[in-house]
Amino acid sequence: MYNIRSLLFKNLSVPTFEGRNMATSGNVEVGPWGGTGGAPWRFQPNGRITAIYIASGVCIDSIRFTYVDGQGTQSSPTYGGQGGGRQTIAFDNDEEIRQISGTIGEYLGVTVVTSLTITTNKRVWPTYGADGGTSFSLPVVVGKFVGFFGNSGDFLNSIGAILQP
């Protein structure tokens, strides 16, 4: 597995992932974007991601996922704290994540993910959190998102993506 780490860069924009330049076997981690506070987390299901639950206010407080595998609908732990308004991104059966983007910044003296936008093959979901700060973007044209990772404590400190070439 390759591990590509991007740290806090001004106006970071990651080039489009074109699977031909990546490993032909195994998955690829890209990111994370944000701070190193909190505890590391990793979500890589053995099935299709069906929904993302985001709690946010002035930053992304937490994120949680549901997925379908051979045993039915499963849920990940909540990564982050208890605050923020809760929103659900529920994907259609033929909907796939094609891009994650957002911003990172300081909140209460900690570097956190301040906003997050999910784009699929069918739509651009609303931006959650408060826009502003250092931007990041990971569009994927060839390959697919198969998981996420990062750090979390009272907030979502960082987020990265696990891609399948």
pTM value is 0.82
10-residue mean pLDDT series, the chain (165 residues): 32 35 66 96 96 97 96 96 95 96 96 97 96 92 94 98 94
At residue 53, the pLDDT reads: 98
At residue 2, the pLDDT reads: 33
DSSP 64-120: EEEEEETTEEEEPPPEE-S-SEEEEEE--TT--EEEEEEEEEEETTEEEEEEEEEEE
Burial 43-75 (b: 16+ CB within 10 A, else e): bebeeebbebbbbbebbbbbbbbbbbeeeeeee
pLDDT, tens digit, for every residue of 135-163?
A: 999 999 889 999 999 999 999 999 999 99
At residue 50, the pLDDT reads: 97
At residue 132, the pLDDT reads: 83
At residue 125, the pLDDT reads: 96
